[in-house]
């Protein structure tokens, strides 16, 4: 099987969490001979090549971050340039977000199924997973802890059933966090979490409080 992978993140490849997820995913996907070609929507110079590959391939995987409950504006702009296939091509999706709970991604997931119909393709399911915001801040083992589990999902996808399997559905984790965890995390968010974000901001050269109001 050969797979066309479109990274739908508007963030440049170097800093793209979606790209790091795809690196883990494709490692598993290719173990048994599956091959792929990958393009980045963030690079407009690739758009002609992506369109050519889109019409030439029957197994398509679009990976994207959730932007305001749906697909990013830039990916939408690209998709608007495509014509419906109506030839049995299959599209599967990897939908990832910063928020951790599965429920946060369901509205976006619902659109992806509809989108596939508008593109005249067959829906091969969506791999849904949150809690990916910190990928860009980590290296080595810490990053691997987040992206590593996607390798198994790559193996699962290569088996041919897309993402419509029990394993892929379970990969999402909890739909809503249990109350005790929300209580603990709520405290962490107000204390350690804020300190951590302030430290990251300082390392980025930020000189203002993170709740600064420039337009007040």
Partner 1 sequence: MVLIVNTTSDTSITGRIKEAAGKDAGLDVVEAAGLKISHCIGCNFCWLKTPGECSIKDDYEIILRKIVHADQLWVISDTALGFLDHKGKNIYDRILPIATMYLKFSGDQMRHVRRYDQITDIGIIYRGEPDREYLERWNSRAALNFGSRSLGVFSADEVKEAVSCMC
With 0-12 / 13-18 / 19 or more C-beta atoms within 10 angstroms meaning exposed / middle / buried, residue 166 is exposed
Residue with smaller CB distance to partner 1, 126 or 151 = 126
- Other CB atoms within 10 Å distance of the CB of residue 145: 12
The answer to the question of residue 74 lying near partner 1 (CB under 8 A) is: yes
64: three-class secondary structure by DSSP: strand
Are the C-beta atoms of 150 and 194 separated by less than 8 Å?
A: no
Lookup: tokens for 116: 């596939």
Rounded CA gap, 119 and 64, in Å?
17
Read off the tokens for 68: 């305001």
Q: Which is nearer to partner 1, 68 or 170 (CB)?
A: 68
Least distance to partner 1, CB of residue 163, Å: 20
Q: What is the nearest approach in angstroms of partner 1 to the Cβ of residue 209?
A: 7
Q: CB neighbours (10 Å) of residue 175?
A: 12
Draw the binding track, 2-21, toward partner 1 (x: CB under 8 A; -: no contact).
Answer: -------xxxx--x------
Q: Does 95 bind partner 1 (CB under 8 A)?
A: no
Give the footprint of partner 1 on this chain (CB under 8 A).
9-12, 15, 42, 65, 67-74, 76-77, 79-80, 99-101, 103-104, 107, 110-111, 114-115, 118-119, 176-177, 179, 182, 185-186, 189-190, 193-194, 197, 200-201, 204-206, 208-216
């Amino acid at each position: 099987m050969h797979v066309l992978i479109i990274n739908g993140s508007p963030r440049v490849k170097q800093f793209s969490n979606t790209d790091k997820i795809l690196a883990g995913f494709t490692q598993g996907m290719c173990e048994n001979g599956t091959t792929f070609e990958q393009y980045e929507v963030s690079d407009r110079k690739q758009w002609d090549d992506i369109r050519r590959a889109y019409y030439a391939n029957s197994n398509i995987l679009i990976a994207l971050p959730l932007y305001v409950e749906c697909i990013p504006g830039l990916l939408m702009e690209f998709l608007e340039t495509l014509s419906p296939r109506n030839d049995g091509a299959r599209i599967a999706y990897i939908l990832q977000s910063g928020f951790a709970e599965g429920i946060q991604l369901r509205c976006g997931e619902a659109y992806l199924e509809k989108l596939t119909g508008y593109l005249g393709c067959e829906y091969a399911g969506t791999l849904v997973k949150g809690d990916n915001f910190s990928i860009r801040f980590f290296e080595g083992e810490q990053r691997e802890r987040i992206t590593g589990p996607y390798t198994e999902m790559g193996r699962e996808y290569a088996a041919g059933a897309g993402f419509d399997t029990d394993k892929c559905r379970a990969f999402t984790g909890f739909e809503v966090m249990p109350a005790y965890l929300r209580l603990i995390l709520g405290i962490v968010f107000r204390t350690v979490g804020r300190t951590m974000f302030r430290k990251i901001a300082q390392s980025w050269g930020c000189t203002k409080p993170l709740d600064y109001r420039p337009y007040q």
